[in-house]
Amino acid sequence: MKKFSTKWTVWFCGWVFPLGLLHISGMQSASAGDQPRPNIVLIMADDMGFSDIGCYGGEIQTPNIDRLAAGGIRFTQFYNTGRCCPTRSSLLTGLYPHEAGLGHMVYRDRGAGYHPYLNRQTVTIAEVLKDAGYRTMMAGKWHVGHEKGQWPTDRGFEHFYGIHIHVDSYFKVLPGCPVYHNDRLVIDATETPSNSLHPGQPWYTTDVFTDWSLKFLDDAADDERPFFLYTAYNSPHWPLEAPVENISQCEGRYDEGWDQLRREKLERMIQMGVVDADTTLPDSQCPAWADLSASDQNESAFRREIYAAQIERMDQNIGRIIEKLNQTGRLDNTLILFLSDNGCCAEGGMFGYRWNENTKGNHDQWRNQSGRSSSMGEAWSNASNTPFRLHKRWVHEGGIATPLIAHWPAGIDQPDRWCRRPGHVVDVLATCADVAGAMYPTQFNGQAIKPTPGVSLKPAFESVDDSLADSRSLFWEHESHAAVRQGKWKLVSLNATAPDAWELYDIVRDRTEQNDVASSHPKVVQRLRDQWTRWARQANVLPWPKDRVEKK
């Protein structure tokens, strides 16, 4: 068992919390007196918009996630990195994506900050907690390294069931997406076609990843160690695929279209206190629903019904995890964190990747197309990200704002409240280490480990102080989309390679980024741009090829 004695001081919102000289061991208690260390369950959704779920003003029925919110804390200003692989790398390592070596995706190696895997100057949540005496388990989508030596079991997880890369179908295993249990291939559509699954068989990824999460929880019942479970769903990422019974429950819900949905969501968000009362909707840049043909309305509404069904099925499965913890008496001292890896996805154009034929009302035909590219499109994505601008892959608020819910009955004071302090996925590792009494090391497996910019969220669990006192800067870069946030200011660009492309927003007064005040505050622009440039240089950010910069 490794032991670290590095003093780690956590800064959070202007406060200092010294964790002291801690030695990690399996018997160490992080809490005062004899209170056992908490179990930790981390649940990640994939491509889910900021305001999709009910407890953030969404129309989608999510009673189990809402239950976590009612018994915990909801964060209004928590951020991801805007894309799948980069967010997962930051979530797991507590570093910015480029620092972790995965500044883009896992399909190409551009060196330095752009490897298709986590570099060895990182340590994962699982590695930190395992060395602190935790049992570590994962089910679902890994997507931070698909070659042997880069798998979950190589990075601290003792038990794993899922996929190393991405999911092309919820209903069947397709070539290039094999399923593994620990290091053993269990299903591969190419090498063992007799094991391939199709829509007629009882297989749905969200259900299966939950089945294994529950199995891991059952197996952990006989282990004296506390546990860390990471359940990474591929829902509601396209392709659009959900069980028919869930789709049927959503039928007719979206016949009024995206314009009406955005207005209704904003009204609920204001009533709930998610956003300020004076918040207005930015221009959607989408066609008016009333201007669509009846056929296009039917097809588009059906797509949204499937998307909603995917989330509702995920919520039902999260309910299974909650109930398992409750039945076994472990819910009270389990920290559950729920968030999304990025904003909703606009891929596929305004109406999404198109099917060959209209599938509204023809579920059999739709199921036969399982595994084909099918998405919801930009217009519905815009509604999912209400009230913000843009989508996944961009670093305006629509791309990087995520709901974050923390539920821990034994550790959260005054539940059912909002926390309005800014936070970032780099904070998740620091939070898990803090509540576990673990240390973030300076060295691991003979490698020097980069210091984390993350801070613990635990003080927010213990205090209702809602002041905006965090003086640190938060940084983003993805495909030349760039941003830095410090205090109330956010500097953001659609193309960081263009010298005059930076926009400045007072994010406290203008969270929806509609009033660019860059011309009125040139010194603020210069200061933040200089900060971003220094960070980009230190973090191994490279200029994105100009011909691949997406504009909006």
Residue 344 annotated to the active site: no
Q: Round to whole Å and give the CA distance between 11 and 430.
A: 10
Q: Round to whole Å and give the CA distance between 81 and 386.
A: 18
- For 315-449, strand residue ranges (E) read 334-340, 401-407, 417-419, 423-424, 443-444, 447-448
Handedness of CA 248, 252, 258, 264 (dihedral sign): negative
Is the separation of the CB atoms in 307 and 240 below 8 Å?
yes
Give the Cβ contact number of residue 202 at 10 Å: 7
* Catalytic option among 98, 104, 143, 396: 143
Structure tokens at 441: 């090391």
Is the separation of the CB atoms in 110 and 444 below 8 Å?
no
Closest by CA to 398, choosing from 92, 48, 65, is 48
Q: Round to whole Å and give the CA distance between 71 and 66.
A: 9
Residue 84 annotated to the active site: yes
Q: Coil, strand, or helix at residue 2?
A: coil
Q: Round to whole Å and give the CA distance between 197 and 447.
A: 42
Closest by CA to 405, choosing from 67, 28, 6, 47, is 67
Output DSSP code: residue 483.
Answer: E
CB burial readout 76-109, b (16+ within 10 A) else e: bbbbbbbbbbbbbbbbbbbbbbbbbbbbbbbeee
Helix count and strand count (H, E) for the chain: 14, 19
- Give the contacts of 481 (CB within 8 A, at least 6 positions apart): 82, 393, 394, 395, 399, 492, 493, 494, 495, 496, 550
* Parallel/antiparallel/unpaired status of strands 179-181 and 184-187: antiparallel
* Catalytic option among 84, 85, 177, 250: 84
- Give the contacts of 469 (CB within 8 A, at least 6 positions apart): 13, 14, 15, 421
Q: Round to whole Å and give the CA distance between 457 and 430.
A: 8
Q: Round to whole Å and give the CA distance between 183 and 259.
A: 47
Q: Round to whole Å and give the CA distance between 54 and 51.
A: 8
* Parallel/antiparallel/unpaired status of strands 334-340 and 39-45: parallel
- Just list the catalytic residues: 84, 143
